[in-house]
Every structure is written in structure tokens, then in C-alpha cells.
Structure 1
Amino acid sequence: MIDTVREEQALRQMTERLVENYTETHSAEQIHSTIDVAIRKFEGHRVRQFVPILVERAVRSELAKPAEADVRAAAVAVEKAAGPTEANSTFTLPNFGELWSANKRFAPLAIVAAVVVVALAVVFAVRQPDSPPPAAAPVPAAPLTVVRGVVGSEKVAFFQDPKVIDVLARNGVRVEVEPAGSRQIATSIDLAKYDFAFPSSEQAAERIQRLRNVTAKYTPFSSPMAVATFTSIADLLAGAGVVRQGPGTAIDLRRYLDLVRNDTRWDELPGNTAYPLRKNILISTTDPRTSNSAAMYLAAASYVANGNTIVQGQTAEQAVLPALARLFVGQGYTENTTEGPFNNYLATGMGPTPMVWIYESQYVEATVRGQVKPDMTLLYPSPTVLSRHTLVPFGATGDQLGRLLSTDPELQRLAAEHGFRTNDAAQFAKVAAERNVPVAADLIDVVATPTYDTLEHLLDGVTKSYN
């Protein structure tokens, strides 16, 4: 089997080098297209170590051609623009190549003379009152490169934002996305028809990389997990010692797990007049079998259930599974993506969903849109986990998008407006301050998630408990 990892890395570096060298004379789309054509010429060759070098030579040779053609076309255009003089005589531009090759000793003088001649020709043309120069035909815009991807639902609004679309278009890209649960993306969706996958966690991205034998990945932004609830519910849980109020109000997961383990109902909390319902206290989540946000919930809870230690090994997995299963099986029907339960929270109030497990970015984005009502509030699990939105490219176009999202200042700013934390913490802080969103300025109580394999074992165990 041929190992193509080094070749892919070399081709990726070569592509970046060529785009940088030729960006003033060619669009990124033209450069990538020329590279793709050159690469295809070497398909099937068994000796691969020289392919990147040969491809680069071929591309540079091809990209050099239009420059020569443009010089000749410019000369013809100037000659036509000069047109007939007032004496109805014609004016012919000199052949610059002949001037140079006839006698190289006098080449500089010849070129200076030629420049003077061209200038005079333009002056003559301008002086003709009856022969205005024809209006320049509009230059058609270069076609955009369509990049198709499957993304976590919480990122759909970002890609549909007209401002995001405009920035991408200025970079020659049009992105088309389809939403899906991050675990669905990693386990059951046919990725062959996409240029990239953009799940909401490193774990899902890791599985995708394994399946597609891809080494490249980009993490342009992240979001901590949080709980969307209501002020009266937060006050009620604070009275029960479960919520610690203040800046970055926190819900103590250890105390919350105790309530769940004891099957505590809302109407059993002392002094409860805000939500005295005879149903168990449970945070509403998505389906752990398909959704990343539910997997992140399980990761944080497993850490607490395991004595504030990351779960590792079969013994620890089996020990925490009973507590983890209770968090999910009592909820009844759950949806595949976080968009569903969060939209229910925004639309229907605390009746069916007094607490919802979400991405912080969803709450910030909804606040920016004016969808968050005055009695709604945000809690941070203590501890919480960080969801790192990771893009896995499947080719040159997906790779180009990953680079743009990670490095373009305007796209990073727009990501902050959609509630994501980017590499520039000041951007997110500015959005939160301008919109008066009660977010935690500093994320301190954040724990690492289990390994991909351990998390899969835990999710499989919870899945079996449904039956």
C-alpha cells in the first residue's frame, strides 16, 4: 500500500506557496484548478516521491503563460485605443520583442522611444472630439467555488448569515451546508458527497479522520457547554444548594447528580411555588446516540460520578454507567440536534423544559437576535467541558475553507457575533458586553473529556439501558 501522507503534506505546502506567489495575477480558484489538473496527470504512477516537485513545475509553467499573453493583449488594446489621427492616418505600435532582439545594446533607448510613441498615440486619440473611446465592457465576476459540507446544527445560522456569505464570496467561495448531529456525522452519514465535515467536537472529528484517512483538521472556534434555564428555577435550585449564584452562575453537577440518583421531584424541593410539578428533576438533552452535545453532557457527568477523575478503563466505565443512564432514560423522547430542545425552550417556556443542556454559543446568538426573554438565564455546569468545533477537510476546497475560518479576521469576528469563542478572546468579550449577555469571562472549571474509545463505550452502555 502506498503511503500518501507525506505526499499530501507536500502538496498542501506547495499549494499554499503557489497561492502566495501568484495571488496578484491569478485567483485562488484558478491556481487550485491548475494544481488539480496537474495532479491528475500523475494518477496511477507508482513512484510518488517526485510527484509534488513535478506538479509544482507544471503549474508554474502553466501560470506563467497568461502573463505573456496579457502583455500582448494590452499592446493591441492600446493600439486600437489610439485609432486614426486627425489626418486620417493610422498609427501602428512597434513590436517590443523586435526592438529588444534587433540590438540589445540599444534596447533601453528603443523601449523609451516605444513608450513615448504609445503616449503620443493615446494623446492623439484623446484629442479627437468626434471619436470618444468605446465604453469598457463589464468584467464578469469569476465563478465561485462551491464547497459542500455537513455541519453540527448550531453552526447553520453562521453559514447562512449574509455577512458571512459575502466574506466567503470575496474569497471566491460559496458554502452549502446540511445539518446533522455530530455523532451522526461521525458514524452513519455518507461523507463521500461532501468537501468537509464540521462536527462539534474533537472526538467526532477524530473518528472522521480515521474513517477517511485524513490528517488535516481546523478548530476555528469553540464553545463551553451550559444550561439554559429561568431565573425562578435558578433561585429554586440555589435554595436547594445546587446552584451557586454570582458572576458566571454555576450549577453544581455533584449535587445535581445526587438529586437525580434519589429520583427527586420538583415538588419535593422546599418552598417551591415557582415550578411545583410532580416530575423528576432532569436537564433536557439531545439523544446521546446521535448528538455531540449529549455526549459532552455524559463526559462532564462521568467525571463527577468517577470521583472528579476522568474515566479510564472498563472497571471505571461499569462503575459510572448506572448514574449516567439515569440522566437520559427518564427524559423520554429526545431530539437528534441541540436546535430542537433549545428552540422549545425559547418558544414554550419552562413548562416542558425548565433546564436545557446547550452550547453557550446558542444562548449568546439568541440574545443577539433578541430571542431571549427577561426571565431566562444561563448556568455553567461545575465542572463543564469545552466543545471544540473541528472541521475535517476532504480535499483542496475543504482545506481552503478551514484556513479561511481559522485565519480571516472578519470571519473570526462574525463567529464571535454568533456566540463562538475564537482565538481572539477580546472579540467574544466585546459582543457579550455590547449585548449584556451574562457569560463567564474566564472559563476556569473546565475538565478534559475521556478518550474517544472510552466515550464510545459509555455511550454504548447508555444506549443499551434504553432497551
Structure 2
Amino acid sequence: MAVDTVREEQAIRRLIDSLLETYADSHSPDDIQTTVTAVRARFDGHPVREFVPILVERIVHRELAPPAPGSVIEEAAAAVEQPAAASSRADRRRAARGAGLVIDRRTLVGAGAAVMVGIVVVALVTRDREPTPSATPAIPGPTVVRGVVGSEKLAYFEDARVVEALARHGLRVEAQPAGSRQIAQSVDLSAFDFAFPSSSPAAERIQRARNINTKYTPFSSPMAIATFQPIADLLTEARVLRPGPVPTFDMARYLELVNTNTEWAHLANNTTYPVRKNILVSTTDPRTSNSAAMYAAIASFVANDRAVVQDERATQAVLPTLQRLFAGQGYTENSTQGPFQEYLAAGMGPSPLVLIYEAQFVEAAVQGRTAPGMVLTYPSPTVLSRHTLVPLRADGDRLGRLLSTDPDLQRLAAEHGFRTGDADRFAKVTAEHRVPVQPDLIDVVDTPTYDTLEALLDAVAKSYN
């Protein structure tokens, strides 16, 4: 009969992860892997598999860090190894007695080594426990950590591999999505352990309001623009797109077209998208969403003669341009997931240019959800959206530290398209899945201060009324 070893394999992987952390200073990963493989091989062929991971863990711990003579672990491992290797009934009886078992003759008749393994483990586990007068209490589950996050991170927290990695540390995250400006301004944070907006300005507001100094930035993502090859060809001829291995979107040239109300149909030689509507990048709602705020930061920098807006005079000077960029779009959604999903599903008809986080495009490509002809471009200049976790309680702080330091969680973040502190992780993911990205971001500008950016966005919001 075939043996289902799925759970055993999962348990062995968790064991190896734990051993790598425990013995990082004394043993190499190869040594640990080799030891686990060798010990596990001792139980090959035994049909009773439930206790194999426990046996392997005990023996490996003994071999990697030998305990003092007479300890429970040494006795357990010795008792386990004897039945696994014993070939006679007398050997098995001596092994059982060494484990503190009394097994009558009828028990041993016809019992294979695998059954003895199970019996010995049960005895050892029981022996390690203190006797209790009542029933054994239930094992507590993982600590639930509740947070409100930018929608582009929801897929990360719902990834089964992320869930498992957090569970190994005793945590289970319940994430509620919201626009980053909503998180900073209108969401009641009293019910949450952490807030995880998509930019440092939004996080700064939360920190100010709640007098919190701690923050974590486990990953980041530059702003990008998703389009389609026919649109890219049109905009290349119009000098908005600069061709290259990864095309760049010239914001200065684009704003010239916006400020003159240029329509798609006005572009020369346009036979692929002759639509009578203004050339505009589709964004989210600047009143609620961080991505729209980052877009305003980019556009205001360019409109202010490539300088960060810092005062009321500059704010008023760039405001007409920002109002055209946003109010001319009509209805906009609260988070980037909406327009990006429409981009993936509906094609270039409704939205030929969509502002996104680079991570969204990379994640979709890794998951096979992009199609030929979809093009990723980078605004020139762009801004780096630093996804910043603000801990509101102790469990949120623990999560922030794990997301920033745990190798598995950082690796999985890269697979979801985020740039972490290790650039090689991100480069490996994009190379394996052939996603053309800018490896080195050079033309990156700072955002205005929180107060200045808020003043800009509030002024833009009034144009919606």
C-alpha cells in the first residue's frame, strides 16, 4: 500500500528551517541537510510514518548538539535507534525496557520494527510530560495579528507560503485592505495591531497622530505605468515614450500634451487608437489612495521646474496641471487593484495607460497573468513607494520585525514583485520569469513633506466638487 508522506515532508521542511535557525552559528546549511537526510533514511521502508519527524528531530538534535549523559533526549534517541536496527525479539525487548516500557510477549509477537518505533515514541512523549490530574489542555493556536494594509499587499498575506512561514513563528495575520490615505485619515485603527500603508508619508501621519516612533519598511516598489504595445508605439512617435530594453515615460513631454488638452485622435499616424478623449494616465482617487498621491508628487516635481514643491507659491503654480491630470479622468477607484485588474482583463480599450506599482506587474507576470503585448514603463522621473508598517501593539511590532528580517518572508516578498534589502532576490525573480524591469533606479525623486503633499491633494480634491 502506498504511503502518503505529504505531511511528513512538510514536517521535515519545518524541522530543517528550525534547525537552520538554531544551529546557524555552529553548523552549515549543508551539514544540517545532510544530517537530517541520513537520520531519516534509517526509517526507510517502515509503513508507520506518523512518528518519523519526531524521531528524526530527537536524533538530529542529539547529533548536532550532544546533550549531557543521562538526559531525556539521549535516552529517547538511544531507545529509538535500537528498535530501528534490532533484528531479534530480545533486542526489541531490551530497547523497550530502556525506554521505561513494560511490553508483554503477546505485544511483541508479530510486531515489526515500525510498530515498535511508534510505541517507543508514545512512551517517550508521555514520559517527558508532567502528570496532570485532569485532561490534557488543548494546544494554543497561533497568535492572531490584525492589520489594515494597502490592497496591493493583500495577495502577499493570503499566499499559503507566507501563512505557513508566519505560523512557524506562531503568528496568523488577518489583513483588511484599504487605500493608504484612508488608512492614514479615516480608518479607525483602534481595532488593529498594525497599519501597513504603501508610503512613508501616510505612515508618518499615523505615527504623528498616535505618537509612535517605531516603523518598519520591509520592502518597496517604484511607481510604473502599464500600457500595451500599440499604445507604446504611438507614444514613441509622439516623443512621450523613450525606447530601450525597458521604455521610459517622459513626464515633461506628457504634461505638455495634457496642458494642451491633446486627444488620442490628434496624434499623427494614429490608426490603432483614434479615440476622441484626452491623453491621460488612469490613476486611483487622490482623495483616498497612495498611488495617486505618488503620481501627484511626480507631476508636481516636473511642473515645478524639476524641484520638490515646498511652499504655497509652488503649490498654487502646479495646481492647474494636477487638476487636469485627475479631474479629467472622471470616476476613479480607491485602490490600485481595481484599475490594474481592469488592465489585465479588459485590454487597452477603457484604459490604455494605467498607473501601478511595479510590484503588481511583476507579481502578475510571475503568476502567468500577463499577456504578450503588455508593456511596463517607468515614469521619468519616478518615486519609490516605501511600504511602511506602523506597529500599533506589541504583536504588530513582532510582525514588522519578522517581515523585515525573516529570509523566507523576504524571499516571498520578492516573488510578489517587491524590492527588498537584498537586490539579488528581486533580480533572480525577474530574470527567472523574464520580466523586463529597470534593475537600477536612477531617476528617482523625493516626495514633498506630508503637510505639503496633503495641501496639494486637498486642493485637487476641491476640483471634484
TM-score normalized by the length of structure 2: 0.73
Match for residue 450 of structure 2 among 438, 445, 452? 452
- Structure 1 residue 360 corresponds to structure 2 residue 358: yes
Q: Label 1:123 to 1:193 Cα distance change in 2 as closer, same or farther (>3 A).
A: closer
1:429 to 1:74, Cα distance in 2 relative to 1, 3 A: closer
AA partner of residue 174 (structure 2): E
**Counterpart Cα distance in 1 of 2:166 and 2:105:** 45
Per the alignment, residue 198 of structure 1 pairs with: 196
Partner of 1:465: 463
> Stretches of 4+ moved more than 2 A in 1?
119-142
State the SS of the aligned residue for 1:143.
coil
Number of the residue aligned with 1:17: none
**AA at the equivalent of 1:412:** Q
Matched, 1:428 2:433: no
Please point out which of 391, 397, 407 is paired with 1:393. 391
| Cα drift, residue 74 of structure 1 | 7.2
Q: Which residue in 1 is equivalent to 2:346?
A: 348
Percent identity, please. Answer: 64
Once the two structures are superposed, residues 156-186 of structure 1 have per-residue CA deviations (whole angstroms, 9 ceiling, x without a partner) of 0000000000000011000000000000000
Tell me which residue corresponds to 1:221. Answer: 219
Structure 2, unmatched stretches of 5+, are: 1-20, 23-70, 80-94, 109-118, 127-135
Q: Distance in 2 between matches of 1:440 and 1:121?
A: 66
SS at match of 1:223: strand
**Which residue of 2 is the match for residue 156 of structure 1?**
154
Which residue of structure 2 lines up, in the alignment, with residue 267 of structure 1?
Answer: 265
Deviation at 1:240? Answer: 0.6
Give, in whole Å, the separation in 2 of the partners of 1:123 and 1:430: 50
Shift of 1:212: 1.4
Would you say the 8 A contact 2:203–2:388 is kept in 1? yes
Give how far 1:349 is off. 0.5
1:322-333 equivalent positions in 2, closer than 5 A = 322-333=320-331
Q: Is the 8 A contact 2:262 2:279 kept in 1?
A: yes
Partner of 1:207: 205
Change (3 A) 1:374 1:120: closer
In the alignment, residue 369 of structure 1 is paired with which amino acid? Q
Any residues of structure 2 matched to 1:191-340 within 5 Å, and which? Answer: 191-340=189-338
> The residue matched to 1:345 in structure 2 has which SS?
helix
Aligned to 1:172: 170
Q: Distance in 2 between matches of 1:141 and 1:445?
A: 53
Determine helix, strand or coil for the equivalent of 2:420.
Answer: coil
Deviation at residue 130 of structure 1 after TM alignment: 5.4
**Residues of 2 paired with 1:204 and 1:402: CA distance?**
16
CA distance in 2, matches of 1:223, 1:120: 59
Give, as a single letter, the amino acid of the residue that structure 2 aligns with 1:343: Q
Distance 1:125 1:201 in 2: 61
**Normalised by the size of structure 1, how large is the TM-score?**
0.73
1:122 deviates by 2.9
Distance 1:270 1:194, change over 3 A: same
Q: 1:395 to 1:270 in 2, by over 3 A?
A: same
CA-atom RMSD in angstroms: 2.4
242 and 125 in structure 1: CA distance in 2 versus 1, 3 angstrom threshold? closer
Q: Is the 8 A contact 2:96 2:103 kept in 1?
A: no
Question: In the TM superposition, what whole-angstrom CA distance separates every residue of 1:29-77 from its partner, at most 9, and x where no partner exists?
Answer: xxxxxxxxxxxxxxxxxxxxxxxxxxxxxxxxxxxxxxxxxxxx979x9
User: How many Å apart are 1:261 and its aligned residue?
Assistant: 0.1
- 1:188 and 1:157 mapped to 2: Cα distance? 23
Q: In the alignment, what sits opposite 1:122?
A: 98
* Residues 396-422 of structure 1 deviation map (CA, whole Å, 9 limit, x = unaligned): 100010000000001000000000000
Distance 1:120 1:339 in 2: 61
SS of corresponding position for 1:333: coil
Unaligned runs of 5+ in 1: 1-22, 25-72, 82-118
C-alpha distance in 2 between matches for 1:380 and 1:217: 28
Q: How far did 1:246 drift?
A: 0.3
